[in-house]
């Protein structure tokens, strides 16, 4: 059972019962901090929780409403006049209202989905200036004025400084929620003016439960939860079109590495190196195929993740039965994913990684 708060309170957010209880008590006592920082690892539902909290505060009957009233629907569409939502944007999108509308509609569609943080994504000063103006207006409906700043650590220095004035003297009846997986990148002055609300890693049971809610079968939910590293990433990725494309590309890449066909590998490079998020997603999916190959070779085929590709994995595992080499290739890709952000030229980076991987698989020293 959850803690001592109504069952509809932040009901869509998995786990985090201590946080929910603390927030609910603060609301009951009229002591909700005017600026909160939802912090914790990626893919824990921090942004979704921020929206849920605002929905609760603005709903005329939150205990009984299932998110269907006018207020709740406006909030779900990010269309409520009392709520300002700011998300990081690439510099190409920043000044194009129709592109921004596209981004916001995808955020509204799935507030859990992780942002694919491109190198040039940021929260610029114009967005914060607009927030400053809007939060100072009086609320159109009960429950105050709200602003949510997603991935607030991506504020530019100018934006952060412009934001400080609002944080120093928050307008009456206004509330701000910042979310961040990298709070160390926030200005100390922002950290000191906001109340930290910590999100914790999720248990396997919670993750499996979330997967089932998202339509996974019992077995799929268990597999996804096993693969998860304390957060919802595998489930959120599994329903993401971009991720599915990356997975298909990774499957071709992984198979080509074992076919020892350099030309097939090099044909894939431009597709994999399209941009940083694609490279990262393809490399991560490649790692999952490599892990599955290794699981076959070490006699644990029931633990594989890419269940739908079982036969192909079995074939490749039998053809190139060198578990140590595969373990080294996994290390190579793990390191590459970490180093990715340091390489502005992804294509060269992808080629270098692919060549090293082929050498390791062939048993050559690199
Ligand atoms: Zn409602």
pLDDT tens digits for 121-154?
899 999 999 999 999 999 999 999 999 999 999 9
Structure confidence at residue 117 (pLDDT): 65
Least confident of 4-13, 79-88, 218-227: 218-227
240-362: in CATH 1.10.10.10: no
Q: What does the pLDDT read at residue 3?
A: 56
The rounded Å distance from CA 14 to ligand 1 centre is: 20
Judge whether residue 118 has pLDDT over 90: no
- Distance of CA 75 from the midpoint of ligand 1 (Å): 9
* Residue 355 half-sphere exposure toward CB, CA atoms < 13 A: 7
Which pLDDT value is given to residue 366? Answer: 67
Q: What percent of the chain has pLDDT over 70?
A: 98
| 17-200 and 240-362 in the same fold | no
- Residue 90: its H or E element: strand 89-90
Q: What is the whole-number distance in angstroms between the Cα of residue 73 and the centre of ligand 1?
A: 7
What is the token pair recorded at 18?
Answer: 């201590």
Q: Tokens standing for 321?
A: 């039965």
pLDDT at residue 92, rounded to an integer:
83
Question: 240: Cβ–Cβ under 8 A, 6 or more apart, which residues?
Answer: 113
Lowest mean pLDDT among 54-63, 110-119, 163-172, 193-202: 110-119
The rounded distance, in Å, linking the Cα atoms of 351 and 354 is 5
Q: Which residues of 112-138 are buried (b: 16+ CB within 10 A; e: fewer)?
A: bbbbebbeebbbbbebbeebbebbeee
Over residues 314-327, mean pLDDT: 93
Name the residue with higher pLDDT: 81 or 365. Answer: 81
Residue 155 is classified by DSSP as B
Q: How much distance in Å is there from the Cα of 15 to the middle of ligand 1?
A: 22
CA 361 to centroid of ligand 1, rounded, Å? 57
pLDDT value for 94:
85
Span 153-165, average pLDDT:
95
The rounded Å distance from CA 51 to ligand 1 centre is 12
183 vs 338: CA distance, rounded Å: 19
Query: pTM, whole model, 2 decimals?
Result: 0.72
Q: What is the pLDDT of residue 2?
A: 46
166 Cα–ligand 1 center, Å: 28
Q: What is the pLDDT of residue 344?
A: 75
pLDDT for 149 equals: 98
24 CA → ligand 1 middle, Å: 17
Q: Residue 162: phi, psi to the nearest 5?
A: -65, -30
- The pLDDT mean for the chain works out to 91
Q: Where are the domains of the chain?
A: 17-200, 203-233, 240-362
With cut-offs at 50, 70 and 90, classify the pLDDT of residue 32: very high
Please write the tens of the pLDDT for every residue from 241-293: 777 889 999 999 999 999 988 899 999 999 999 888 789 889 999 999 999 99
CA 163 – ligand 1 centroid, Å: 30
pLDDT band, very low/low/confident/very high, at 1 (cuts 50, 70, 90): very low
User: Which of 3-17, 159-173, 231-245 is the least confident region?
Assistant: 231-245
Q: Of 3.30.1240.10, 3.40.50.300, 3.30.450.20, 3.40.50.2300, which CATH number belongs to 17-200? A: 3.40.50.300
Report the separation in Å between the CA atom of 19 and the middle of ligand 1, taken as the mean of its atom positions: 22
Instruction: Tell whether the model's pLDDT for residue 343 goes beyond 80.
Output: no
Tell me the C-alpha distance between 145 and 82, whole Å. Answer: 5
**C-alpha span between 272 and 351 (Å, rounded):** 10
How far, in Å, from the CA of 71 to the mean position of ligand 1? 6
Kindly indicate the confidence band of residue 215, based on its pLDDT and cuts at 50, 70 and 90.
confident
């Amino acid at each position: 059972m959850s803690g001592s708060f109504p069952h509809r309170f932040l009901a869509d957010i998995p786990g985090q019962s201590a946080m929910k209880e603390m927030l609910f008590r603060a609301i009951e006592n009229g002591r909700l901090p005017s600026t909160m920082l939802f912090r914790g690892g990626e893919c824990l539902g921090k942004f979704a929780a921020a929206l849920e909290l605002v929905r609760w505060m603005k709903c005329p009957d939150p205990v009984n409403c299932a998110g269907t009233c006018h207020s709740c629907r406006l909030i779900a569409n990010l269309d409520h006049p009392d709520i300002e939502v700011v998300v990081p944007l690439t510099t190409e999108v920043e000044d194009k209202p129709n592109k921004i509308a596209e981004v916001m509609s995808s955020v509204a569609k799935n507030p859990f989905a992780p942002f694919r943080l491109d190198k040039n994504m940021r929260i610029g000063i114009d967005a914060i200036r607009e927030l400053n103006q809007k939060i100072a207006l009086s609320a159109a409906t009960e429950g105050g004025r709200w602003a949510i700043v997603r991935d607030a650590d991506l504020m530019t220095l100018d934006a952060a400084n412009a934001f400080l004035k609002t944080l120093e003297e928050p307008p009456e009846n206004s509330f701000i929620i910042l979310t961040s997986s990298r709070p160390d990148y926030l200005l100390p002055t922002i950290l000191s003016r906001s109340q930290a609300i910590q999100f914790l890693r999720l248990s396997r049971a919670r993750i499996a439960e979330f997967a089932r809610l998202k339509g996974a079968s019992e077995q799929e939910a268990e597999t996804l939860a096993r693969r998860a590293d304390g957060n919802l990433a595998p489930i959120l990725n599994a329903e993401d079109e971009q991720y599915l494309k990356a997975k298909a590309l990774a499957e071709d890449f992984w198979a080509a590495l074992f076919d020892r066909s350099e030309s097939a590998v090099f044909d894939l490079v431009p597709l994999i190196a399209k941009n940083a998020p694609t490279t990262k997603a393809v490399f991560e999916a490649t790692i999952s195929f490599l892990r599955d190959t290794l699981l076959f070779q070490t006699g644990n085929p029931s633990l594989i993740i890419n269940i739908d590709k079982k036969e192909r994995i079995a074939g490749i595992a039998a053809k190139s039965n060198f578990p140590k080499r595969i373990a080294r290739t996994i290390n190579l890709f793990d390191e590459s994913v970490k180093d990715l952000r340091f390489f502005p030229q992804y294509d060269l980076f992808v080629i270098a990684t692919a060549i090293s991987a082929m050498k390791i698989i062939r048993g050559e020293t690199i």
